Each structure stands twice: as C-alpha cells, then as structure tokens.
Amino acid sequence: MKVDRLVSIIMILLDKERIGAQELADMFEVSPRTIYRDIDAINMAGIPVRGASGVGGGFEIMQKYKIDKKVFSTADLSALLMGLSSLSNIIRGDELVHALAKVKSFIPADRVKDIELKVNQICIDLSPWMGNRNIQPYLEIIKTAMQKSKLLSFEYVAHHGNKTARIVEPYQLVLKSSHWYLQGYCHERNDFRLFRISRISNLQIQEETFAARDYQKPTLDFSEIWETMQTKIKIRIHKSIMDRLLDFCAYENFLPDGDEHYIVSYPFIENEYCYDILLGFGDKCECLEPLHIRTEMKRRIHDIATLYEN
C-alpha cells in the first residue's frame, strides 16, 4: 500500500543519514521511478527531502530539520488511521499492521482520545455479508504473485458462462463497487484484461516469473458512457421495494401513485444485466413504457413461466 510505503520511507530517512533510490526500490520491491514519486509526495507533505548525486549519493532529510509529532495534525492522523484500519478489514498482512503501529507512534499522549474519537466516527467495512469465500484467500495469493512477479494460472467464467483457462501476469488489485478485480496481462488474449475475482477458480501461482510491462491502469469511471447509453423508462413499483430502487436512482425520481405505489423514472440500458435487475423485483414492479421494453419484459416472464410449467 502506498501510505504504508510513504510512512516507512519517512521512518527510514529519519533513521539513516542517506539512502539511495535503488536501495529503497529493492527494499519495497518497486521501481526507482516509484521511489522518486514517493519522495515528491513526501516533499509536498512538508518534509524537505533532497537528493545528492555521485558516489555515496542518495536521499536525505535536510540537515537541521527535525520532524516531531506535531508535523501531523489531528485531522492528518485521523485520516491515516481511518484509511489503514479500513484496509486491514479486507487486506490482511504484516505491512498494514506495521503501518498502523508506525502512525500511532506519532500520536502525542494528550491527543490520543481526541484522535480515537474521530477515527471511530466513520467505519468502512467492505467485507461482504455473504458470498464467495474464495475471495479473501485469492487476494492473498494474488498479492504474493505480484510481490514476486510470478505468473498466475486460473479458470475464468466470462460472459454467457464461457469457461476458459488463463495464464496472467498480475499487476493490480482493484476494488470497485464492492467487487474485487485483478488487472493483468493475459497470455491467452495477448492484452491487458480486468478479471472479476469472484469468477476465478483453481487459482495457482506458477514458478515462472515475468518482466514487468508498461501499462495503463484500467478505466473505472464509465459515468459519461453510461449517460449516453441510458434511457429513462417508466415503472410502477410497490412501496415495499422502494429501498432497493434507491440504489439505482434518486428519491426525486419517485412520484406517489396512491398510498401503496410509486411511479418511477428509472435509468435503463437494454442489456441482459438491466433486464435481470427489473425481473428481480418480481411482481412488485411493472414496466409501463416504452412499449418495446414492456413487450420484452412480457416475453421474458413468459419464458420463465414456461420453464416452470415443464
């Protein structure tokens, strides 16, 4: 984690007079370019780190600068602890435990209660209530493979249930909308792909290592694309599922229709995923318009009924 690495670099610079970029890179198993970015971030945070070139060169905190516990404000420490504590709920590892201990060491005794109160004001727990129990151990396997630059093999269930065997160079773990993804270079497709971890099975670390490629992080914000693809449809719902609809559209889109129902302007894309969501509301939801979507809903409901008749 970057926060852990930044705090650790600060502690190392406080402990050593000077240390080289390559030595830091080897220590944290990242590239020297990443270390240079980290040093820039530390400088922007107000801790003056300078670089010395030549034999015996490296990074050092400027002489006469003394970092003390007041360098971090109450808000700074609260934010760091909140973020690290939230990560420790979903990603286990000694590095997070060590980072938490280091950050806590900066808290002056007279501010402990105040900071603990602020940290406890927000609880972020992204672990699922229920679901695929392979995800947590798979996260640990993927982390190990990334740290050691080793290939991963697994079977993957893609769209329409197609199952394929993959060999992948792992580059990044992504948490998006409560779902974990692996960003990696797929040898099967000869390109970078984003794999949803819940669809992975038989995950194994291979003995073969790989040389890191230059790559761009995956695009995760599709809000502008969705807006161009979405159309507003009119549905009538029973009030008992209003809470579920609020996950997809704002309260302002609900118009009361008697005491028990609402007419809702609902954002919809004509694909399998969105039709399945509407069908999931059962008899508590009726599509009123447009006509072609209402007709398609009737066809799908008829197919379901026929399945159970047989």
Task: Confirm whether 2-67 and 135-209 share one CATH topology.
Answer: no
* pTM higher than the cut 0.85: no
Where would I find the H helices in 120-260?
A: 135-148, 223-229, 242-245
To which residue do tokens 């996260």 refer? 139
Range with the lowest mean pLDDT among 112-116, 227-231, 268-272?
112-116
Please identify which residue in the block is written with the tokens 């719902």: 237
Q: Across-strand partners of 86?
A: none
The domain 2-67 is placed in CATH, from the list 1.10.10.10, 3.40.50.1820, 3.40.50.10610, 1.25.40.10, at 1.10.10.10
Asked if 197 and 182 touch (Cβ cutoff 8 Å), the reply is yes
Taking the domains of the chain in order of start, what are their residue ranges?
2-67, 71-119, 135-209, 224-309
List pLDDT tens digits, range 47-84: 788 887 777 778 887 766 655 555 566 677 677 777 66
Residue in this structure with the two tokens 């699922």, named with its chain if needed: 128
* Architecture (CATH level 2) of domain 135-209: Roll (2.30)
Look at residue 37 and tell me whether its pLDDT is greater than 70: yes
Q: Which of 149-153, 188-192, 211-215, 264-268 has the lowest mean pLDDT?
A: 211-215
Q: Cβ(195)–Cβ(184) under 8 Å?
A: yes
